Amino acid sequence: MSLAGRSLSTLCDLSTDELKSILDLAARVKKSPKDYRKSLKQKTLAMIFQKPSLRTRVSFETGMTQMGGHAIYLAPTDISLGKRETTEDISLVLSRYADIIMARVFGHDIIEEMAKHATVPVINGLSDYAHPCQMLADLQTVQERRGAMKGLKFVYSGDGNNVAHSIMFGGALVGMHVVIVTPPGYEPKECALSKSREMASKTGGSIEVTNDLASAAGGADVLYTDVWASMGQEDDAERRKQFFMPYQVNMDVLKMAKSDCVVLHCLPAHYNEEITYDVTRSKNSAIFDQAENRMHAQKALMLKLAGAA
């Protein structure tokens, strides 16, 4: 299934079959990396970062290198998007040098503008609205642990942020029953909720939003959480704790879920805030498999967008 030349702004850009084709390729890439070591030979990935990163930078750069290509890291001081030069011009110039552009930014409008003007594929490495590459890795990890994903109960506890939005989109595409649990006032954006419900109606999945973690965690196949204050919200972190502490994923919450429940966290983790250390080291935890799978899933995505697979 060809995705050559396409961009990935959110998982809404994909059909169910296209998403599954990426996950299938990710599994093959992970199993036999040597088969793909020349697949992107002499290809260049331009990586734009407004936000610092561990997993995004290393997974993309390593993945590109392992497939014979080259990645260029462009720090916030290298490119002042929309300040020193317009996003449109940056997109057009990088399209003359690179084969793929990946951007980790604050505003989602930047991703949309880059995808509009670039003549090569643009990958959303994270924006304030969506984190599609993270969800590709999440789905790969769930598939490895549980096999078929359709019908699984996927429970997320935390802020209704970009990660929550991507869980809703990805879960809807594969027919999972997604439950987003947040403190009152921190629910996902209504536009993301309505879009994901529309998608879920076509796959037999469902999207629910609640403020009751104890009820939601019962029978969960997957328990997922994220930091309570995302990058750029540090000044609000202490205030948020009072509202989010009842939504911590701890051993009591894990016991409410199924015995083989998969625990996920996109990292970095603030132990004993959104999740306790013992949960992350339990037999249910797959957080480091999940982190590793960022590289495999993104390798598959780049292969698809570059027309190399």
Active site residue 84: no
% of the chain exceeding 90 in pLDDT: 93
pLDDT digits (tens, 9 = 90+) for 68-103: 999 999 998 888 787 889 999 999 999 999 999 999
- The pLDDT of residue 232: 72
Active site residue 294: yes
Indicate the burial class of 34 (C-beta count within 10 angstroms; 0-12, 13-18, 19 or more): exposed
Catalytic residue among 108, 138, 266, 296: 266
The arrangement of secondary structure in 134-290, i.e. its CATH architecture, is 3-Layer(aba) Sandwich (3.40)
Catalytic residue among 50, 134, 140, 298: 134
pLDDT band at 220 (very low <50, low <70, confident <90, very high): very high
Mean of the pLDDT values across residues 221-244? 90
d(CA 124, CA 89) in angstroms, rounded, equals: 18
- The pLDDT of residue 47: 98
Total count of residues recorded for the chain: 309
Q: Is-cis flag, bond preceding 268, omega within 30?
A: yes
Inter-CA distances, 107 with 95, 114, 155, 223, Å: 21, 12, 26, 28
Active site residue 266: yes
Catalytic residue among 131, 145, 265, 296: 131
- The pLDDT of residue 69: 98
**Cβ-contact 136, 26 below 8 angstroms:** yes
Inter-CA distances, 266 with 2, 55, 275, 296, Å: 28, 9, 12, 15
What is the strand order of the sheet 70-74 is part of?
A: 70-74, 44-49, 100-104, 122-126
- The pLDDT of residue 153: 98
Q: Is the pLDDT of residue 274 over 80?
A: yes
**Cβ-contact 190, 198 below 8 angstroms:** no
Angular region, 212: left φ>0, alpha ψ -120 to 50, beta rest: beta
Mean pLDDT rounded to a whole number for the chain:
96
Q: What residues does CATH 3.40.50.1370 cover in the chain?
A: 11-131+294-305, 134-290
DSSP 85: B
CATH superfamily of 11-131+294-305: Aspartate/ornithine carbamoyltransferase (3.40.50.1370)
Q: Is the pLDDT of residue 52 over 80?
A: yes
Catalytic residue among 226, 265, 290, 296: 226
Mean of the pLDDT values across residues 161-175? 98
Catalytic residue among 50, 55, 99, 104: 104
Active site residue 24: no
- The pLDDT of residue 145: 98
- The pLDDT of residue 96: 98
Q: Is the pLDDT of residue 258 over 80?
A: yes
d(CA 100, CA 133) in angstroms, rounded, equals: 15
287-305 and 16-31 are packed helices; what angle lies between their axes, rounded to 10 degrees? 110
